[in-house]
């Protein structure tokens, strides 16, 4: 959704101040296995309330057979400022049999380390893949299902493409409500009806010999809400004239219903742009502000309302890495 305001101003700068303290990433339970070299493995996790940089990478590390991370191996990564999981592949070589392997997750911006997972077993055997396919938001990302224009009670067909002869089950967690639903692949194709929310699908494939593989996916069917409203009037005065928006991030109609991986880009009309995440906006208590250093005199605004002279256009849009810009332009 894109929303445009006209700003009459003698009007660059951004007041964007947050107090940063970082807590720990909490890793979820990991299936006890046994896994085999070359198999897929997933780690789910909960993020702290602190904000992650937009260039952040979540990295998945495997311990040695004794649960020590002194010689840890990087086995997977996910580039994002928001996620609920990261997938990896157990190395095909250099893995000794053991029952006390563990996982942990690191982030790069900020650089923090998760709790350690519960212990699990790795033993020799053929590699196993837990794999689902459905409608991709973007064909370049095969771990994310959904459509870019959400709707209530959206039905998705999910296909099991895991290793042949394995028994495949999944849990589907609604990340807005916390509700968890089972999804059992008694047949290759299963249907899931999604609310307007985002889901973590944790898949498990179990072979006849008991060896397992896991993999996680997103299913994204969130609303696209642009609940920005300017505080006061649209006329600000130099020096340091400030335009402030109040953002609804808590009510039933607030932006917390959007996918937390969305970005909110504000083009202020004076050749400056600010990009926020939901976490950024919540840390600012729903207030985003811009200080202008130059006048709008000589600028022209062209919108559905017509052409207005000596005015800046202020434009807000929502986007994510899967769909690009979301929604349709709205002007006021």
DSSP 131-163: -EE--EEETTEEEEEE-SS--TTEEEEEEE-SS
Inter-residue contact 2 to 316 (CB < 8 Å): yes
Q: Is the pTM of the predicted complex or chain greater than 0.95?
A: no
pLDDT band at 330 (very low <50, low <70, confident <90, very high): very low
Per the CB < 8 A criterion, the answer to whether 272 and 298 are in contact is no
Strand order in the sheet with 241-247: 14-15, 287-292, 241-247, 228-230
Taking residues 48-63, report their average pLDDT: 95
pLDDT confidence of residue 231: 58
Residue 93 scores a pLDDT above 90 = yes
Tell me the pLDDT of the chain averaged across its residues: 87
Sheet of 103-108, strand order: 73-79, 57-62, 103-108, 111-113
Given a cut of 70, is residue 13 above it in pLDDT? no
pLDDT at 47 over 70: yes
Q: Assign 3-class secondary structure to 8-42.
A: EECCCCEECCCCCCCCCCEECCCCCCCECCCCEEE
103-143 confidence digits (pLDDT tens)? 999 999 999 999 999 999 999 999 999 999 999 999 999 99
Q: What is the pLDDT of residues 215-237, one digit of tens each?
A: 999 999 999 888 777 655 555 55
Kindly list the domain boundaries of the chain, sorted by start residue. Answer: 2-19+224-325
Q: Which residue has the higher pLDDT, 293 or 86?
A: 86
Count of CB atoms situated within 10 Å of the CB of 316: 21
Give the residue with greater pLDDT, 273 vs 62: 62
Tokens matching residue 246: 């109040």
pLDDT at 11 (0 to 100)? 35
The predicted pLDDT at position 310 comes to 62
With beta carbons less than 8 A apart as the criterion, state whether 256 and 227 touch.
no
CATH of domain 2-19+224-325: 2.60.40
Where b means 16+ CB within 10 Å and e means fewer, 139-157 reads eeeebbbbeeebeeebebe
Of 8-12, 52-56, 155-159, the poorest mean pLDDT is in: 8-12
């Amino acid at each position: 959704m894109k929303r445009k305001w006209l700003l009459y101003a003698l009007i660059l700068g951004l007041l964007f101040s947050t107090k940063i303290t970082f807590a720990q990433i909490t890793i979820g339970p990991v299936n006890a296995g046994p896994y085999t070299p070359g198999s897929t493995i997933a780690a789910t996790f909960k993020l702290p309330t602190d904000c992650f940089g937009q260039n952040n990478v979540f990295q998945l590390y495997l311990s040695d057979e004794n649960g020590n991370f002194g010689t840890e191996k990087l086995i997977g990564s996910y580039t994002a400022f928001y996620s609920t999981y990261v997938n990896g592949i157990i190395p095909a070589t250099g893995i000794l049999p053991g029952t006390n392997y563990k996982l942990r997750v690191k982030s790069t911006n900020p650089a923090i380390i998760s709790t350690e997972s519960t212990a699990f077993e790795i033993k020799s055997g053929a590699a196993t893949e837990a794999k689902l396919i459905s409608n991709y938001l973007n064909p370049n990302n095969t771990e994310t299902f959904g459509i870019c224009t959400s709707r209530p009670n959206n039905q998705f067909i999910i296909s099991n493409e895991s290793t042949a002869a394995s028994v495949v089950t999944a849990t589907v967690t609604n990340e807005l409500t916390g509700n968890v639903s089972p999804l059992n692949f008694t047949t290759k194709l299963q249907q899931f009806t999604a609310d307007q929310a985002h889901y973590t699908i944790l898949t498990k494939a179990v072979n006849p010999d008991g060896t397992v593989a896991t993999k996680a996916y997103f299913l994204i069917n969130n609303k696209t809400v642009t609940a920005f409203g300017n505080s006061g009037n649209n006329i600000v005065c130099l020096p340091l004239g400030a335009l402030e928006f109040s953002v609804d991030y808590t009510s039933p109609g607030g932006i917390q219903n959007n996918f937390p991986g969305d970005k909110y880009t504000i083009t202020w009309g004076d050749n400056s742009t600010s990009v926020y995440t939901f976490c950024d906006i919540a840390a600012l208590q729903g207030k985003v502000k811009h200080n202008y250093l130059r006048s709008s005199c000589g600028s022209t605004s062209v919108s559905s309302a017509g052409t207005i002279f000596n005015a800046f256009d202020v434009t807000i849009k929502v986007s994510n890495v899967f769909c690009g810009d979301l929604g349709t332009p709205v002007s006021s």
